Chain A
């Protein structure tokens, strides 16, 4: 079938390095943001989320940073492991108007971790 959209950017890192994956979102009214990890042949899985009233949130080995001024989201993975190899997507949840209730995904990034 026809491919829809863009091919994904890639990031290659060595095991043990820190990884930073970036995402630009489109709707300034979005109030909730999520990072997902998608392994081959599986549906996306939740990693970490952040609300628009925060600019940083930390989880286990992961940190999400939100810059509302430039509509930018980043995911930092500390001490990256081969098991972290996957496609990473950011998603935004529309807050109002025609965007209310819509969970829209940004362009993903393919992370490859070399042993």
Chain B
């Protein structure tokens, strides 16, 4: 079982609130990723990081922001949540070299009302 954890698993929050979705991994992986996925739909890369102090935007434009101050931690923040942000958010991590399969967390299902 992969050692990557996301909290919370489920979050229902009002419009305009600031939220942070947590993602931590204990495998020492340098690359981390955030994906957005609606039910029954594709995974879209919204942010990724090569390592500490490195962040890049993914293929899908997102109003969220990320930070990577520590190797093991890659939080995602929405400054002002809107109903259009309702979705599932999946965090993943990989090594840089060799076999680079990504390990995924269980996801955070966010509902903005």
A51 vs B54: C-alpha distance when bound (angstroms): 26
Q: Counting CB contacts under 8 A, is A110 at the interface?
A: yes
Interface size on B, residues (CB 8 A): 36
Q: State how many angstroms separate the Cβ of B9 from the closest Cβ of chain A.
A: 9
Q: Which residues of B contact A87 (CB under 8 A)?
A: 40
Query: Are B45 and A102 in contact, CB atoms less than 8 angstroms apart?
Result: yes
Cβ-Cβ contact count across A and B, 8 Å cutoff: 87
Q: Counting CB contacts under 8 A, is A43 at the interface?
A: yes
Which of under 10, 10 to 19, 20 to 34, or 35 or more describes the interface residues of A? 20 to 34
Interface core residue of B48, B92, B102 (most chain A CB under 10 Å)? B102
Interface core residue of B33, B90, B100 (most chain A CB under 10 Å)? B100
By a beta-carbon cutoff of 8 Å, the part of chain A in contact with chain B is 1-8, 32, 34, 36, 41-46, 49, 87, 89, 91, 93, 101-108, 110
By a beta-carbon cutoff of 8 Å, the part of chain B in contact with chain A is 31, 33, 35-36, 38, 40-45, 48, 50, 56, 58-60, 83-87, 90, 92, 94, 96, 99-107, 112
